[in-house]
């Protein structure tokens, strides 16, 4: 089953799950005021530090920097 999953998705089940969690976290960071720890818990991570490290690995930014970047760009866009 693991080989079949990897053949179909190009990822291991763990990689797929982590990517799905990070996608959901990105959405929550962009659209809510939840804390990073709250978002980590909401997407299935018990440890906010582990979540932040995985988030940075996938996006190139820590969660707080990702949120700040998103909000700056949306504020600029709404002023035009």
Domains and CATH numbers, the chain: 2-79 (1.10.10.60)
pLDDT band (50, 70, 90) for residue 73: low
3-state secondary structure of 18: helix
Predicted confidence (pLDDT) per residue in 39-60, tens digit: 999 999 999 999 999 999 999 9
Q: What are the residues whose beta carbons fall under 8 Å from the beta carbon of 61, sequence distance 6 or more? A: 55, 69
Q: Is the pLDDT of residue 17 over 90?
A: yes
Give percent of the chain with pLDDT exceeding 70. 89
């Amino acid at each position: 089953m693991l080989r079949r999953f990897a053949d179909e998705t190009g990822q291991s089940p763990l990689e797929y799950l982590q990517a799905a969690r990070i996608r959901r976290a990105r959405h929550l960071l962009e659209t809510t005021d939840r804390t990073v720890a709250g978002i980590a818990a909401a997407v299935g991570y018990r440890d906010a530090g582990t979540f932040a490290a995985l988030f940075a690995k996938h996006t190139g930014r820590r969660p707080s920097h990702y949120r700040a970047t998103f909000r700056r760009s949306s504020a600029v866009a709404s002023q035009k």
